[in-house]
Structure 1
Amino acid sequence: MSTHTLGELISLLFMAVALGMDAFSVSLGVGMQQIRLKRILIIGIIIGIFHMIMPFLGIIVGQAISNRIGDLTTMAGGLLLVGIGTQMLLSAFNHEQRKVMQIAGFGLFIFGLSVSIDSFSVGLSLGLSGVKTALALLMFGATSTVLTWAGMLLGRKVHGLLGIYSEILGGSILCGFGLHIIFG
């Protein structure tokens, strides 16, 4: 293995971890909702798939249009996370309705999209760099899946310690992360 190839692998690994950290942070908040292990498994896989699809779409679009679209996708992802976090916060204070957004069906699609939409803009730049696309996409997907699982399992443990306050903490994490994406 050449030094150039090893350097590219290490760079891709760091990029994959950086992209997966948002999945970890958001999953930490969502994991506080007392989600079953089977659902955690499915959510992690879906987020991993989205972390492969979105950069791939970014690569395709990046070759066709300018980089300005990256700012729009980042803004949309941030707004989606703020919306989900706000819903969690409001439901924590609404004692009649204890069910937060279902992370199943269309809700799972929206969740996966909101967590991985920032990887679209990474795909825009990857399309111009000549990186090994298949390797990058597999690393992004695998890393985000593992970090999602870790975040949700840790969130489950924290929920047991904090009880009802974990929903407030989880919603705050989602809102904070969404605001960080928008303004940071």
Structure 2
Amino acid sequence: MKAMLKMFFIFFKIGAFTLGGGYAMIPLIEEEIVAKNKWIETEEFIDIIALSQTIPGALAINSSTYIGYRLFGFPGAVVGCLGTIMPSVIIILLVATFFIQFRSLPLIESIFRGIRPAVVALILVAVMKLGKPLPKDTINLVWVIGVALTITFLGVHPILIILMSGIAGYILFKGEKNDENTR
């Protein structure tokens, strides 16, 4: 119970202090769940993020729910999810109550202008951390660049990219696991 409560406050803290959505939360979740508490290994964390992106819903909520389930079963899934969404609910209520009155103040506009670059930086950190364990070979390099260019310049939907990547991964790497098992 103590560990589950700790997990709730970890996700609550991350949800409360991270602007920019799920991608900006990834490095913070990784730091707390993988590095500090060592509840999950890096490879499994990457799999959780990948899985969380393939199912409907917000990345942070999907990943915190899955991590909670992985650690503490169904009650952990509920606690992880609540820890992530409660700060947003509280913040939205406060914003709805007060922000409308103050949104045009220069101070508020300046604060949000300062927050935007920090959000971009958090997303870049997530990309760099998630890319570290990726094998540095030609196939992966071409795939990363190809996907980025396809989404950016051709406007292909990310869901289609994920599905096609899964199919390509199956085709390209289906024999690798079998080769490892026979050694």
Q: TM-score range by the shorter chain?
A: 0.3 to 0.5
Decide which structure has the larger Cα Rg and report it: 2
TM-score norm. by structure 1 comes to: 0.37
